[in-house]
Amino acid sequence: MKDSSDVQAIVAEIRDAVRKSVAPPYASETIPLALHEPCLQGNENAYVKECIDTGWVSSVGKFVDRFEQELADYTGMKRAVAVSNGTAALHIALLLAGVEAGDEVLVPALTFVATANAVSYLGASPHFVDSEDVSLGMDAETLDRYLSSTVMLRDGHAFNKSTGRRISVLLPMHTFGHPVDLDALTAVAEKYHLTLVEDAAESIGSFYKGRHTGNFGRIAALSFNGNKTITTGGGGALLTNDEDLGRHAKHLTTQAKVPHAWEFVHDAIGYNYRMPNINAALGCAQLEELDGFLRAQRALADRYERAFSPIQGIRFVKEPPYTRSNYWLQAICLEGADLEMRDAVISGLHAANIFVRPAWRLLYKLPMFENAPRMDCAVAERIEASLINLPSSVRLGERVETRDADEP
């Protein structure tokens, strides 16, 4: 822990770099900068009004169909199924990937709690994996080394030698929109007979080697929560390139009802995970704006990067090579920080009207997961202690068009 004058100096440097980077209307120190606010300035009102005026607000309707088709088109995938939120999408993705009660699922230690909760819903246990510094997500190299000593292969499945349980799925998450190294993780999944499922909750608009995230595993989960790049109020989607799996996903998320003109027949234990039409209407309007949002987020990242580059001891988190990130949440790392210093800097920035946040507490530190299996997570520990997310609302990046025009 540095002393308090050091902390004050760091806070001042970050404050100045942030105010210098945001769009001019937000440069004043008196304006509070939220972490991530939705931008609802397109056809949101018109589409939602159409739902209300026509009475189509609920779980079927043209905006649900359209949103699903447009998501599939945008991501270049065969099928998208809109659901009630990202957690629901993860739950069904894991169910369809074959996770069974008693299994273990490899999830990052550094992720939002929903990733591990979805594993628990199936009676399986998360098994936590360390991060690497570039993408902040799973480190394929150390994971491979860890699995080579931890896992026994038998009958085409991987078993944890300590617990005896099957490890069925590898579930990387694209942290703050930055794609993990999918080629390297795909190789690990193949080597250990794991099904790859992508937690793409944060990565709509993020591409790995030119293909949208979600295309690399068996099935993927998106989120459209209010703080995400685009929002449906609450919502999520499943993405897959397997049409049978897509049909099955639609069936299970709509209470496994068998189509019939009037009979209520259901052929499996299903889930009420449908996205209402009124929420899909928001989603359709937001998708129309997505390209502009991504331009704004990337322009803000550019300016943050330039503003922070002269500052000693602070690293701006850039998209990994071979990727194009949505920069959903902008982030910096304070070199050599500990949790106490991180919190002191966050407090100082809040006092300066800049509402930053830390990464999530590592999941194995939460009481319900403290006994879950895990590898050594030294890198994730370091990221947890040093990372601060900066204000990332679309409007903060929006001066991109004018600036580009002004510049020589």
Which chain residues interact with a copy of itself by CB under 8 A? 37-40, 44-45, 48-49, 51-53, 55, 57-59, 84-88, 112-114, 117, 120-121, 123, 225-227, 231-234, 255-257, 261-272, 274-279, 282, 346, 350, 356-361, 366-368
Least spacing, CB of residue 234 vs a copy of itself, in Å: 4
The terminus-to-terminus CA distance of the chain in angstroms comes to 44
Token output for 247: 């049909």
For residue 151, what are the CA distances in angstroms to 95, 141, 143, 374?
A: 22, 15, 11, 12
Question: Which lies closer to a copy of itself via its Cβ, residue 74 or residue 121?
Answer: 121
Count Cα atoms within 13 angstroms, Cβ side, for 341: 21
Q: C-alpha 402: how far from its chain's center?
A: 30
Least spacing, CB of residue 286 vs a copy of itself, in Å: 10
* Alpha helices for 263-377 (secondary structure H): 277-308, 339-351
How far apart CA 215 and CA 147 sit, in angstroms, is 24
Question: Which lies closer to a copy of itself via its Cβ, residue 8 or residue 43?
Answer: 43
81: enclosing H helix or E strand: strand 79-83
For residue 49, what are the CA distances in angstroms to 53, 55, 56, 68, 275?
A: 6, 10, 10, 20, 17
Least spacing, CB of residue 233 vs a copy of itself, in Å: 3
Least spacing, CB of residue 190 vs a copy of itself, in Å: 31
Least spacing, CB of residue 248 vs a copy of itself, in Å: 15
For residue 184, what are the CA distances in angstroms to 138, 141, 180?
A: 10, 8, 9
Question: Which lies closer to a copy of itself via its Cβ, residue 114 or residue 331?
Answer: 114
Least spacing, CB of residue 355 vs a copy of itself, in Å: 8
Question: Which lies closer to a copy of itself via its Cβ, residue 55 or residue 310?
Answer: 55
Least spacing, CB of residue 155 vs a copy of itself, in Å: 26
Question: Which lies closer to a copy of itself via its Cβ, residue 39 or residue 249?
Answer: 39
How far apart CA 327 and CA 317 sit, in angstroms, is 9
Question: Which lies closer to a copy of itself via its Cβ, residue 72 or residue 116?
Answer: 116
Question: Which lies closer to a copy of itself via its Cβ, residue 231 or residue 241?
Answer: 231
Please report where in the chains the tokens 């903060």 appear, as a residue.
Answer: 396
